[in-house]
Amino acid sequence: KNNATTSGNDAKNAKKRIVALKRIICTDFDDANTVFQEVIAMRSFDHPNLVRYDDVFLENLNDTSFGVCIVMELYPSDLQRYLRKKKFKSEPKLIKYVKQLCEGIHYMHSHGLIHRDLKPENVFMKNKYRDLLIGDVQIMLCFYFSNKK
Protein backbone atom coordinates (compact mmCIF):
# COMPACT_ATOMS: atom_id res chain seq x y z
CA LYS A 1 0.00 0.00 0.00
CA ASN A 2 1.14 3.49 -0.74
CA ASN A 3 0.47 6.48 1.46
CA ALA A 4 -1.36 9.48 0.09
CA THR A 5 -3.16 12.44 1.54
CA THR A 6 -6.67 13.50 0.84
CA SER A 7 -8.85 16.29 2.07
CA GLY A 8 -12.16 14.60 1.29
CA ASN A 9 -14.98 15.86 -0.90
CA ASP A 10 -15.51 19.15 0.91
CA ALA A 11 -12.06 20.73 0.93
CA LYS A 12 -13.25 23.66 3.04
CA ASN A 13 -14.39 21.55 6.00
CA ALA A 14 -12.26 18.42 5.70
CA LYS A 15 -9.06 17.84 7.61
CA LYS A 16 -6.07 16.39 5.81
CA ARG A 17 -5.26 12.83 6.79
CA ILE A 18 -2.98 10.04 5.74
CA VAL A 19 -4.72 7.33 3.72
CA ALA A 20 -3.78 4.05 2.06
CA LEU A 21 -3.84 3.74 -1.70
CA LYS A 22 -4.28 0.22 -3.06
CA ARG A 23 -3.61 -0.32 -6.75
CA ILE A 24 -5.01 -3.38 -8.53
CA ILE A 25 -3.34 -3.99 -11.89
CA CYS A 26 -5.59 -5.30 -14.66
CA THR A 27 -4.37 -6.44 -18.06
CA ASP A 28 -7.37 -5.21 -20.00
CA PHE A 29 -9.98 -2.51 -19.70
CA ASP A 30 -12.92 -4.89 -19.24
CA ASP A 31 -11.31 -6.46 -16.14
CA ALA A 32 -10.43 -3.01 -14.78
CA ASN A 33 -13.98 -1.81 -15.35
CA THR A 34 -15.41 -4.89 -13.59
CA VAL A 35 -13.20 -4.31 -10.53
CA PHE A 36 -14.02 -0.59 -10.61
CA GLN A 37 -17.78 -1.30 -10.65
CA GLU A 38 -17.43 -3.78 -7.76
CA VAL A 39 -15.58 -1.18 -5.68
CA ILE A 40 -18.25 1.42 -6.50
CA ALA A 41 -20.90 -1.06 -5.30
CA MET A 42 -18.95 -1.83 -2.13
CA ARG A 43 -18.68 1.88 -1.30
CA SER A 44 -22.38 1.77 -0.46
CA PHE A 45 -21.87 -0.91 2.19
CA ASP A 46 -21.68 0.46 5.70
CA HIS A 47 -20.62 -1.75 8.59
CA PRO A 48 -18.21 -1.09 11.48
CA ASN A 49 -16.30 -4.31 10.75
CA LEU A 50 -15.71 -3.74 7.04
CA VAL A 51 -13.02 -1.51 5.57
CA ARG A 52 -14.65 1.62 4.13
CA TYR A 53 -13.45 2.80 0.71
CA ASP A 54 -13.26 6.58 0.44
CA ASP A 55 -12.67 6.84 -3.29
CA VAL A 56 -11.79 4.81 -6.39
CA PHE A 57 -10.34 5.83 -9.74
CA LEU A 58 -8.95 4.23 -12.89
CA GLU A 59 -5.54 4.99 -14.32
CA ASN A 60 -4.16 4.06 -17.70
CA LEU A 61 -0.72 2.53 -17.03
CA ASN A 62 0.09 1.77 -20.69
CA ASP A 63 -1.64 0.48 -23.81
CA THR A 64 -2.52 -2.86 -22.22
CA SER A 65 -2.58 -2.27 -18.44
CA PHE A 66 -4.94 -0.36 -16.23
CA GLY A 67 -4.85 0.34 -12.52
CA VAL A 68 -7.85 0.50 -10.25
CA CYS A 69 -6.79 2.69 -7.34
CA ILE A 70 -8.71 2.49 -4.10
CA VAL A 71 -8.37 5.16 -1.42
CA MET A 72 -9.10 3.98 2.12
CA GLU A 73 -8.19 4.71 5.69
CA LEU A 74 -4.68 3.68 6.67
CA TYR A 75 -4.81 1.17 9.52
CA PRO A 76 -1.88 0.77 11.93
CA SER A 77 -1.83 -3.01 11.94
CA ASP A 78 -3.46 -6.21 10.81
CA LEU A 79 -4.46 -9.31 12.71
CA GLN A 80 -1.44 -11.29 11.51
CA ARG A 81 1.04 -8.77 12.95
CA TYR A 82 -1.01 -8.55 16.13
CA LEU A 83 -1.02 -12.33 16.60
CA ARG A 84 2.75 -12.47 16.13
CA LYS A 85 3.36 -9.83 18.79
CA LYS A 86 0.67 -10.52 21.36
CA LYS A 87 -0.90 -13.51 23.00
CA PHE A 88 -4.58 -13.58 23.79
CA LYS A 89 -4.51 -13.43 27.56
CA SER A 90 -8.18 -12.87 28.04
CA GLU A 91 -11.05 -14.93 26.77
CA PRO A 92 -13.41 -11.92 26.62
CA LYS A 93 -11.04 -10.14 24.20
CA LEU A 94 -10.87 -13.21 21.96
CA ILE A 95 -14.66 -13.54 22.05
CA LYS A 96 -15.01 -9.87 21.10
CA TYR A 97 -12.73 -10.35 18.05
CA VAL A 98 -14.59 -13.47 16.92
CA LYS A 99 -17.91 -11.65 17.33
CA GLN A 100 -16.68 -8.71 15.24
CA LEU A 101 -15.46 -11.04 12.50
CA CYS A 102 -18.76 -12.94 12.48
CA GLU A 103 -20.77 -9.71 12.33
CA GLY A 104 -18.70 -8.46 9.40
CA ILE A 105 -18.98 -11.77 7.54
CA HIS A 106 -22.73 -11.92 8.20
CA TYR A 107 -23.17 -8.40 6.81
CA MET A 108 -21.16 -9.29 3.68
CA HIS A 109 -23.12 -12.48 3.07
CA SER A 110 -26.48 -10.78 3.67
CA HIS A 111 -25.53 -8.26 0.94
CA GLY A 112 -24.30 -10.88 -1.53
CA LEU A 113 -20.62 -10.18 -0.91
CA ILE A 114 -18.20 -13.09 -0.64
CA HIS A 115 -14.60 -12.75 0.55
CA ARG A 116 -12.59 -15.50 -1.08
CA ASP A 117 -9.43 -15.14 0.97
CA LEU A 118 -10.26 -14.26 4.56
CA LYS A 119 -7.03 -14.56 6.54
CA PRO A 120 -5.32 -12.60 9.35
CA GLU A 121 -3.42 -10.23 7.03
CA ASN A 122 -6.74 -9.21 5.43
CA VAL A 123 -8.22 -8.25 8.79
CA PHE A 124 -7.14 -4.78 9.90
CA MET A 125 -7.06 -3.39 13.43
CA LYS A 126 -7.85 0.08 14.64
CA ASN A 127 -8.67 2.00 17.82
CA LYS A 128 -5.63 0.64 19.65
CA TYR A 129 -6.41 -2.97 18.72
CA ARG A 130 -10.01 -2.80 19.95
CA ASP A 131 -11.74 -3.14 16.59
CA LEU A 132 -11.32 -5.49 13.62
CA LEU A 133 -12.19 -4.64 10.02
CA ILE A 134 -12.35 -7.09 7.12
CA GLY A 135 -10.57 -5.84 4.04
CA ASP A 136 -8.65 -6.59 0.83
CA VAL A 137 -10.95 -5.73 -2.02
CA GLN A 138 -8.73 -7.43 -4.58
CA ILE A 139 -10.13 -10.81 -3.68
CA MET A 140 -13.72 -9.83 -2.90
CA LEU A 141 -16.44 -10.51 -5.41
CA CYS A 142 -19.94 -9.10 -5.50
CA PHE A 143 -22.70 -11.55 -6.16
CA TYR A 144 -26.20 -10.21 -5.99
CA PHE A 145 -28.48 -13.12 -5.26
CA SER A 146 -31.91 -12.70 -6.73
CA ASN A 147 -34.16 -13.21 -3.76
CA LYS A 148 -36.77 -10.96 -5.33
CA LYS A 149 -39.98 -12.64 -6.43
* Residue 49 DSSP symbol: T
78 in catalytic set: no
What is the rounded distance in angstroms from the CA atom of residue 88 to the CA atom of residue 132? 15
Sheet of 131-134, strands arranged across: 77-78, 123-126, 131-134
Among 28, 115, 20, smallest CA distance to 67 is for 28
User: Active site residue: 31, 55, 63, 117, which one?
Assistant: 117
b or e along 10-22 (b: 16 or more beta carbons within 10 Å of the residue's beta carbon)?
eeeeeeeeebbbb
Query: Which residues are identified as catalytic?
Result: 117
